[in-house]
Structure 1
Amino acid sequence: MATEIQSAGKVVVGTDCSNRADKAIEWAAKTASSRGYPLLVVSVLPEVPLPKRTRAASALREGTDYVNQLREQVGKKLADIADRVRGYHPTLVVETALVQGSAPLVLAQASKDAVMVVVGARGQTAPPAVRILGGTADQVTSHAHGPVAVITDLSEEDHGGPVVVGVDGSDESKVAIGIAFREAASRHVPVRAINTWDFGPYDAFNAEIWAASIDEMAEDLTSMVNDLVKDEAAKHPEVAVQVDVVRGRPEFVLVDASKKASLVVVGSRGRGGFAGLLLGSTSKHVLREARCPVIVART
């Protein structure tokens, strides 16, 4: 079974065909439909299936190869998913793909030419070990070559809320700005561009000294964010823009903003991230804790 899929120009969503994956599929279908792109629903079978012994014994007694049996079952579920999506979005082109391999690898490879890759995640409801070690969503966002949307169990869109984008001047945040404006335009909502600052561990002891320059610093940062968003704002004059410079840790500020947002867009790593860093601490935290869908941008 092949591990490559035809993902060019499509919104790609991964699924294990469980009910828990429905939220990601529904979000991906809505996004693809509103943007006019085909939707590709992908399920990946492991390279070495590990069935329960009873099921394996049953399959052997029936003379049926377990892998082929599994492919048939998953194929039927994918067809049902596609039919359900078409029912909600009659004009949407919906395709399915069933491949064998590593799910994170297949989806990360798809991100090279897909419009976007969408994955579900357990977020705050995951066991501590899963949240620490990461799962498919962590691996895909870490190794992707393009934007990845992560839809956690707690993702609830405020449909009238803004698209929130974290802006720190990094190359990744510049890509995130472009994505934020496109998504806001398709949703007919404003963009809220957020930059954060805080006292460092040593500066806190000299807070009184810094107090006199806080207003000036906030003005400089606001000017910087306005300069960074102005080109995209000119491309999308219909999108209102709100710039906020907020004191606080970026991960906490963005998660708080997610509670009243339709979407959060962050760079895969911020200005402080070193060249080999796959996924920064801010994006990791936002992916797990955000209360709305999150798109991770990559250069």
Structure 2
Amino acid sequence: MSRTITVGFDGSPESRAAAEWAAREAKLRGLPVRLVQVWEPVPEPMAQAPLLGVETRQHWTERVPRQAAEGLRLRHPGVEVTTEHVSGRPAEALARAAQDAELLVLGSRGLGGLGGFLVGSVGLAAVASTERPVVLVRAGEQATDEHEMDKAGIPSTAAPFRPVVLGLDVGSPDEALIGFAFDAATRRNVPLHVVHGWNPPPYYAYGMALEAAVQRELAGIESTVLTEELRPWRQKFPDVEVVAESRYGSPSNLLIDASREASLVVVGRRIRRSSVGAHIGTVTHAVLHHATAPVAVVAHD
């Protein structure tokens, strides 16, 4: 069965933005889009109460997704769009729906003037429990936001895409994460900006000031490690221009800064299959909340 780009859809502005992004991505990948609406069961006593009329329920469970799908087909000719209604707890239902998907795309409310995301509990739980890549899209995200300015200085879909940004920890690099970023850059025909933030070992942080000479030495080591890590990927994707940046400082802050000029930010999440439970990681958590571009979270071992 062909994979789909699956969207968590509830009719909200953020889920509509996610659906639009998914349709654009589907065209790049030659895949269909599936809008999944989750209806959470209510306790039996509440279910017996006439809280929601039949027409209202039918509108939200049938008409809204159907109308959204029709609109996507009109705005994105050639993209196949289907709808699906499932029951269950939203995060768990979306994680199940994503098992056979190429991507799971979720919407997030924007933070207004701050320009970042407001990721709710359902979104965070879905990201933490889904082993397929998950993309978070802000409400209000426009196709032009992912493109450079045209000759008139106006964002335009006729202009090239902005670069793809990859946050990479050279201490635990993963092929799935790096491969996803290179593939995204290839499909958009843009440079890949690899961001690696590093901090000195604890004995420098707690025992002595980081002198300039020591900082330069550590910076050289980190830069060399990053270059060597990317070498086979440059050979595998010779058409992708790679801009590697290894800098002293907070990885999350560096990625958030880089997101301002990105079409997509790619970060990783380590999979935990233990009683400890799901985990996102501090850097990914910060990027999810504050990046100004769509964020792809790639789960890896």
TM-score for the superposition, normalised by structure 1: 0.82
SS in 2 for 1:122: strand
2:153 match? none
What is the CA–CA distance in structure 1 between the aligned matches of 2:31 and 2:85, rounded to whole Å?
20
Q: Secondary structure at the match of 1:239?
A: coil
Deviations 1:183-204 (A, max 9, x none): 1111111101111112467624
Moved over 3 A (4+): 153-158, 170-174, 199-202
* Structure-1 residue corresponding to 2:208: 206
Which stretch shows the higher mean deviation, 168-177 or 230-239? 168-177
Residue correspondence of structure 1 range 114-125 to structure 2 within 5 A? 114-124=101-111
Unaligned regions of 5+ residues in structure 1, if any? Answer: 1-5, 60-65
Change (3 A) 1:276 1:232: farther
Aligned to 2:286: 285
Residue 9 (structure 2) aligns with: 15
Quote the Cα distance in structure 2 between the aligned partners of 1:287 and 1:155. 15
Q: 1:23/1:253 Cα in 2 relative to 1: closer, same or farther (>3 Å)? A: same
After superposition, what is the alpha-carbon deviation per residue over 1:219-243, rounded to whole angstroms, capped at 9, x for unaligned? 2222222222233322322110000
Matched, 1:40 2:42: no
* Alpha-carbon displacement from aligned partner over 1:240-299 (angstroms, at most 9, x marks no partner): 0000011111111111110111111001149xxxx8661101111100100000000112
1:136 partner SS:
helix
Q: Is the 8 A contact 2:15 2:139 kept in 1?
A: no
Counterpart of 1:122, as a letter, is R
SS of alignment partner, residue 169 of structure 2: coil
3-state SS of the aligned residue for 2:10? coil
How does 1:248-287 map onto structure 2 within 5 Å? Answer: 248-269=249-270, 278-287=279-288
Aligned equivalents of 1:111 and 1:233: distance in 2? 30
Separation in 1 of the partners of 2:109 and 2:286?
A: 13
- In the alignment, what sits opposite 1:99? 86
Deviation per CA, 1:154-186: give whole Å up to 9, x if none.
756442321111111355644221111111111
Structure 2 equivalent of residue 180 of structure 1:
181
Aligned in 2, Cα 1:131/1:149: closer, same or farther, shift over 3 Å?
A: closer
Q: State how far apart, in whole Å, the 2-side matches of 1:43 and 1:283 are.
A: 26
Change beyond 3 A, Cα 1:170–1:97: farther
Instruction: Show structure 2 runs of 5+ residues with no match.
Output: 148-160
Percent identity, aligned pairs only, is: 31
The match for 1:225 is 226
Cα offset, 1:109, TM superposition = 1.7
Cα shift readout 1:38-95 (whole Å, capped 9, x = no counterpart): 1111111111189x99x92673xxxxxx4x8514542111111111111111111111
Separation (CA, whole Å) in 2 of partners of 1:86 and 1:15: 16
Residue identity matched to 1:266: V
- In 2, Cα distance between equivalents of 1:170 and 1:161: 28
State the AA in 1 paired with 2:99. Answer: K
- The verdict on how the C-alpha distance between 1:150 and 1:73 changes in structure 2, with shifts beyond 3 A counting, is closer
Aligned to 1:140: 126
Contact 1:266 1:296 in 2 (8 A): yes
Which of 60, 63, 82 matches 1:76?
63
CA shift at 1:118, angstroms?
0.3
**In 2 relative to 1, CA 202–219 (structure 1 residues): closer, same or farther, beyond 3 Å?**
closer
**Residues 1:113 and 2:100 aligned together:** yes
Write out per-residue CA displacement over residues 201-222 of structure 1, whole angstroms, 9 at most, x where no aligned residue. 76246225x4223223222222
- Aligned residue pairs total 275
| TM-score, with structure 2 as normaliser | 0.81
